[in-house]
């Protein structure tokens, strides 16, 4: 069987080595042929390595995908479920998440996948609520939010165009 190993980190400071070692050892132990897809510092909307992998999966170039955890593959429950339905369940492509112990080729694996996906989405929602609550509290206490002032902030700015509209001033001619 030929597997795609997908590795992702969110920032340049993070390293992919731990994921790579764990996934390669597993693939070798299982006797899989594999190709590694490594995504570094991806943003929410741009994950070019994953997009290229998805195209190849749609062409059935791989029998399965191997990841360390669900959160390395997708960032939202909607993303997880749509890709699982289209590719892993719909096209019968295996999906293995080692740390979550999920194998989408089985009924129990699909059930666990949906339960874990719901909990992951719930956790993200809680973090967002806490963050917004903390920001509101800080604002009430008079804390200046945003980046600290720098030298550019002390420069005299022109009083026309976008800046004037932003400040509620009329355009000067």
Q: Are 39 and 50 in contact (CB under 8 A)?
A: yes
Select which of 10, 42, 151, 160 is catalytic: 10
To the query of whether residue 42 is one of the catalytic residues in this protein, the response is no
Give the active site residues: 10
């Amino acid at each position: 069987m030929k597997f795609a190993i997908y590795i992702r980190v969110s920032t340049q400071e993070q390293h992919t080595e731990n994921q790579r070692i764990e996934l390669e050892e597993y693939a070798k132990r299982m006797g899989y042929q594999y190709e590694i897809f490594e995504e570094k510092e991806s943003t929410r909307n741009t994950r070019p390595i994953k997009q290229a992998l998805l195209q190849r999966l749609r062409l059935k170039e791989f029998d399965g995908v191997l990841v360390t955890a669900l959160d390395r593959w997708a960032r939202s429950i909607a993303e997880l479920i749509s890709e699982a339905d289209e590719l892993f369940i719909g096209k019968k492509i295996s999906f293995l998440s080692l740390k979550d112990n999920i194998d989408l080729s089985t009924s129990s694996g699909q059930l666990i996948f949906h339960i874990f996906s719901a909990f992951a989405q719930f956790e993200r929602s809680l973090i967002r609520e806490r963050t917004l609550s903390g920001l509101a509290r800080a604002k009430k206490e008079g804390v200046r939010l945003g980046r600290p002032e720098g030298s550019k902030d002390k420069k005299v700015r022109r009083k026309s165009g976008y800046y004037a509209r932003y400040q509620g001033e009329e355009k000067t001619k």
